[in-house]
């Protein structure tokens, strides 16, 4: 990898130089995940939560032809104000955007890849993409799953987004050799809800267990990522029947309008916010904060153990 394409913030450069714990954060959640100014407030709060837990935040984006690892407040505000005018960027789009200096908000797959270039082992997000409902005919499967299969980064999330087929998503991850952990739970969280009808592969009860697993996978030469599912806190968890009804209605309206591809997830999430009277947005923000906290604790534990090969 040619370092001419990478630009670190001062804080992240210092953290790398002194071997401090770092947590990667994505930028699609800023530009496409929620409206302005909630998106910027949430992004800055996420960074502060990571700092308060003893790690260094590294929000990732593509700006002016550079892979930016660590953003300034002004850059985060730019992404938030521009919103969906910023291109949603997956791994597929990285080289094109860099070449043509197209600003890009990185998805889970792109953030994982760029984080791995910097040796960052832990990444916090809201929910991952996965196998979409009806994928047996549409073949609509998120690039996030392939990235998890090939990039050694631990992704802390509240499960796959509830708009997806959770059962097929788990099957896909199993096929690709990705361990799915449940933090203090045996059940797969369903983003807005604490649990689902599906079980995780392994339960873990302390951040140090996850840090140790990251190190052990590296020592064994296993190159897949690790999916750490962290349930939304009880007081913000939404009843499954309420959120499922909103999802079903949103999907019907989306299909009626012919919306497909990269526009699917932003449309559905926005429609669900509307149908739940804003409750899903509040839940989304809180689960992201919860994931940032856990990711920072894992990064701190990993740094304390030492990165032994």
- The encoded tokens of residue 43 equal 């992004």
Annotated active-site residue 66? The verdict is no
E-only strand ranges, the chain: 6-8, 22-25, 56-63, 66-69, 87-89, 104-106, 122-124, 154-157, 180-183, 202-204, 226-229
The secondary element (H helix, E strand) that includes residue 303 is: helix 279-305
Rounded Cα gap, residues 144 and 267, in angstroms: 18
Q: What residues contact 54, with CB distance under 8 A and at least 6 apart?
A: 21, 296, 300
Q: Are 122 and 292 in contact (CB under 8 A)?
A: no
Query: Does 161 qualify as catalytic in the annotation?
Result: yes
Active-site residue, from 26, 47, 75, 147? 26
Contact (Cβ atoms closer than 8 angstroms) between residue 47 and residue 59: yes
**The one catalytic residue among 88, 121, 161, 271:** 161
Q: What are phi and psi of 71, to 5 degrees?
A: -115, 155
In the chain, the largest separation of any two C-alpha atoms, in whole Å, equals: 54
Contact 25, 46 (CB under 8 A): yes
Tell me which residues are annotated as active site.
26, 161
């Amino acid at each position: 990898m040619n370092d001419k394409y990478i630009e670190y913030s001062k804080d992240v450069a210092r953290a790398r130089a002194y071997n401090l714990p770092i947590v990667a954060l994505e930028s699609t959640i800023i530009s496409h995940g929620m409206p302005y100014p909630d998106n910027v407030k949430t992004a800055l709060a996420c960074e502060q939560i990571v700092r308060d837990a003893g790690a260094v935040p590294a929000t990732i984006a593509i700006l002016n032809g550079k892979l930016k690892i660590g953003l300034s407040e002004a850059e985060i505000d730019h992404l938030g104000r521009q919103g969906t005018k910023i291109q949603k960027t997956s791994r597929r789009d990285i080289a094109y955007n860099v070449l043509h200096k197209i600003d890009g908000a990185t998805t889970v797959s792109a953030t994982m890849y760029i984080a791995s270039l910097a040796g960052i082992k832990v990444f916090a997000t809201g929910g991952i993409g996965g196998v979409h409902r009806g994928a047996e005919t549409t073949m609509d499967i998120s690039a996030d799953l392939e990235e998890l299969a090939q990039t050694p980064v631990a992704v802390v999330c509240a499960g796959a987004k509830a708009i997806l087929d959770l059962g097929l998503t788990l099957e896909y991850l199993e096929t690709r050799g990705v361990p799915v952990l449940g933090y203090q739970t045996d059940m797969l969280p369903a983003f807005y809800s604490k649990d689902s009808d599906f079980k995780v592969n392994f339960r873990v009860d302390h951040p140090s267990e996850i840090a140790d697993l990251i190190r052990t996978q590296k020592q064994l030469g296993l190159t897949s990522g690790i999916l750490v599912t962290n349930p939304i806190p009880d007081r913000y968890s939404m009843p499954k029947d309420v959120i499922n009804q909103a999802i079903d209605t949103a999907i019907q309206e989306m299909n009626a309008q012919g919306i497909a591809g990269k526009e699917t997830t932003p449309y559905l999430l926005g429609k669900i916010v509307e149908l739940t009277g804003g409750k899903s947005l509040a839940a989304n923000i809180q689960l992201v904060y919860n994931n940032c906290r856990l990711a920072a604790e894992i990064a701190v534990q990993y740094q304390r153990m030492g990165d032994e090969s």
